[in-house]
Structure 1
Amino acid sequence: MRILSRRDFMMSVSAATLAAATTKGFSGSHVQRVFVASGTPEGIRSFDWISSSGDLKAAGIGAEISTVDWICFSPDRRFIFAACEVDSFNGKPTGELASFRVAGGKLEQLSGQNSASKGTCHCAIDHTGRVLISADYGGGSAASFRVTDGKLSPLVWSEHYTVHGPNPDRQEAAHAHFASFSPDNRFAYVNDLGGDMIHIYTFSPDTAVLKNAGAYHSAPGAGPRTLHFHPNGHTAYAMNEMASSVDVLKWNKADGSFTRVDTVHLLPPNAPLPDPKDAPQGNTGCDTVITNDGRFVYFANRGTDFLYSFKADPATGALTPMERTGTGGKTPRNFTLDPTEHWMLVADQNSSNLAAFARDTATGKLAAKGKTVDCPTPMCILFA
Structure 2
Amino acid sequence: MGANTGGRAFIGSFTSAGGLGITVAEVDGSTGKLSVLASTNVLADPSFLAVGHAPGTGAPVLYAVSEVADGAAAAFDIGGGGAPVLIGESRPVEGDGPTHLDVRAGHLFTANYGSGSVTSLPLRPDGSPGPAAGVLRHEGGGPDAARQTAPHAHQVLADPSGNWVLSVDLGTDSVRVCALDPGTGSLRTHSEAVLRPGTGPRHLVFHPSGGHLYVLNELEPTVTVCRWDAATGRLEPTGETPVLPHGADDAVRTYPSEVVVSHDGRFLWAANRGHDSISVLALDETAEKPVLVAAVGCGGRWPRDLTLDPTGQWLYAANERSGNVSWFSLDAETGMPSPAGSIDVPAASCVVFA
TM-score, normalisation: structure 1: 0.84
- Trace 1:129-140 onto structure 2 (pairs within 5 A): 130-140=106-116
Q: Which moved more, 1:28-37 or 1:288-297?
A: 28-37
Please give the per-residue CA displacement for 1:206-248, whole angstroms capped at 9, x wherever unaligned: 3211112121111110111112111101100011110111111
Please give the per-residue CA displacement for 1:120-148, whole angstroms capped at 9, x wherever unaligned: 1111112x3x0211111112222111112
Establish whether residue 146 from structure 1 lines up as the match of residue 122 from structure 2. Answer: yes
Please give the per-residue CA displacement for 1:346-384, whole angstroms capped at 9, x wherever unaligned: 1001110110112122332211x3412110111110112
Contact 1:312 1:319 in 2 (8 A): yes
Establish whether residue 80 from structure 1 lines up as the match of residue 54 from structure 2. Answer: no
Amino acid at match of 1:82: A
Change in 2 beyond 3 A, CA 1:37/1:371: same
Establish whether residue 319 from structure 1 lines up as the match of residue 290 from structure 2. Answer: yes
Root-mean-square deviation (Å): 1.9
**Alpha-carbon distance in structure 2 between the residues aligned to 1:153 and 1:272:** 44
- Trace 1:198-217 onto structure 2 (pairs within 5 A): 198-217=175-194
- Between the two proteins, what is the percent identity of the paired residues? 29
**Alpha-carbon distance in structure 2 between the residues aligned to 1:197 and 1:352:** 32
Change in 2 beyond 3 A, CA 1:29/1:253: closer
Structure 2 unpaired stretches of 5+: none
In the alignment, what sits opposite 1:11? none
In the alignment, what sits opposite 1:335? 306
TM-fit CA distance, 1:272: 4.4
Aligned partner (choices 335, 359, 377) of residue 347 of structure 2: 377
**Alpha-carbon distance in structure 2 between the residues aligned to 1:373 and 1:311:** 29
Structure 1 unpaired stretches of 5+: 1-26, 88-93, 276-281
Establish whether residue 175 from structure 1 lines up as the match of residue 157 from structure 2. Answer: no
TM-fit CA distance, 1:43: 1.6
Contact 1:182 1:256 in 2 (8 A): no
In the alignment, what sits opposite 1:38? 13
Please give the per-residue CA displacement for 1:13-70, whole angstroms capped at 9, x wherever unaligned: xxxxxxxxxxxxxx95325321101111642011122122232222121453110111
Aligned partner (choices 162, 181, 196) of residue 185 of structure 1: 162
- Trace 1:149-298 onto structure 2 (pairs within 5 A): 149=125, 150-274=127-251, 282-298=253-269
Please give the per-residue CA displacement for 1:172-201, whole angstroms capped at 9, x wherever unaligned: 221110001122111111111011111221
Amino acid at match of 1:371: G
Please give the per-residue CA displacement for 1:77-107, whole angstroms capped at 9, x wherever unaligned: 71111111123xxxxxx11111112213342
Please give the per-residue CA displacement for 1:296-340, whole angstroms capped at 9, x wherever unaligned: 211111110111112223553532332211101111111112223
Change in 2 beyond 3 A, CA 1:114/1:283: same
TM-fit CA distance, 1:116: 2.2
**Alpha-carbon distance in structure 1 between the residues aligned to 2:224 and 2:101:** 22
**Alpha-carbon distance in structure 1 between the residues aligned to 2:331 and 2:283:** 15
In the alignment, what sits opposite 1:347? 318
Amino acid at match of 1:225: R
**Alpha-carbon distance in structure 2 between the residues aligned to 1:69 and 1:317:** 31
Change in 2 beyond 3 A, CA 1:317/1:232: farther
TM-score, normalisation: structure 2: 0.91
Count of aligned residue pairs for this structure pair = 343
Larger radius of gyration: 1
**Alpha-carbon distance in structure 1 between the residues aligned to 2:306 and 2:161:** 25
Aligned partner (choices 105, 124, 134) of residue 81 of structure 2: 105
TM-fit CA distance, 1:163: 0.8
SS of the equivalent of 1:74 reads strand
Amino acid at match of 1:99: A
